[in-house]
Structure 1
Amino acid sequence: MIDIGLVIIGYLVGSVSSAILVCRVLQLGDPREDGSGNPGATNVLRLAGKGPAVATLAGDWLKGTLPVVLAWLVTSDPVIISATGLAAFFGHLYPAYFRFQGGKGVATGMGVLLAWSPVALAATALTWLAIAAAFRFSSLAAIVAFAMAPAYMLWHMEDPVLTAATAIIAVAAVWRHRENIVRLATGEESQIGKSSDS
Structure 2
Amino acid sequence: MVLDIGLIAVAYLLGSIPSAVWIGRRFYGVDVRQHGSKNAGATNTLRVLGLRAALPVFAIDMLKGLAAVMLSHLAGYPAGSDAMFNLKVALVAAAVIGHILPVFAGFKGGKGVATLAGAVLGVYPLAVLLCLVVFAVVFGLTRYVSLGSMSAGVAFPVFVIGVFGERSLALIVFSVVIALLLLFTHRKNIRRLLSHTESKTYLFKRKG
Q: Say if 1:136 and 1:34 are closer, same or farther in 2 by CA, change over 3 A.
A: closer
RMSD: 1.9
Aligned to 2:68: 67
Q: Identity percentage over the alignment?
A: 34
Q: Say if 1:148 and 1:84 are closer, same or farther in 2 by CA, change over 3 A.
A: same
Shift of 1:84: 0.8
Aligned to 1:162: 171
Would the aligned equivalents of 1:57 and 1:107 in 2 still touch at CA under 8 Å?
yes
Structure 2 residue aligned with 1:178, among 176, 180, 187? Answer: 187
* Secondary structure of the structure 2 residue equivalent to 1:9: helix
Structure 2 residue aligned with 1:122, among 119, 129, 143? Answer: 129
Query: 2 CA distance for matches of 1:136 and 1:48?
Result: 18
Aligned to 2:206: none
| Number of positions where the alignment pairs a residue of Structure 1 with one of Structure 2 | 194
Letter matched to residue 146 of structure 1: G
* Secondary structure of the structure 2 residue equivalent to 1:103: coil
**Which string of whole-angstrom CA distances, capped at 9 and with x for unpartnered residues, describes residues 90-117 of structure 1?**
2112222223222112111110121111
Query: 1 CA distance for matches of 2:17 and 2:120?
Result: 18
**Which string of whole-angstrom CA distances, capped at 9 and with x for unpartnered residues, describes residues 118-175 of structure 1?**
1011121111122222322111111111122133234545433333333333322222
Aligned to 1:33: 34
Would the aligned equivalents of 2:65 and 2:96 in 1 still touch at CA under 8 Å?
yes
The two structures have a TM-score, normalised by structure 2, of: 0.84
Aligned to 2:153: 146
Letter matched to residue 136 of structure 2: L
* Secondary structure of the structure 2 residue equivalent to 1:116: coil
Bigger Rg over Cα: 2
The two structures have a TM-score, normalised by structure 1, of: 0.88
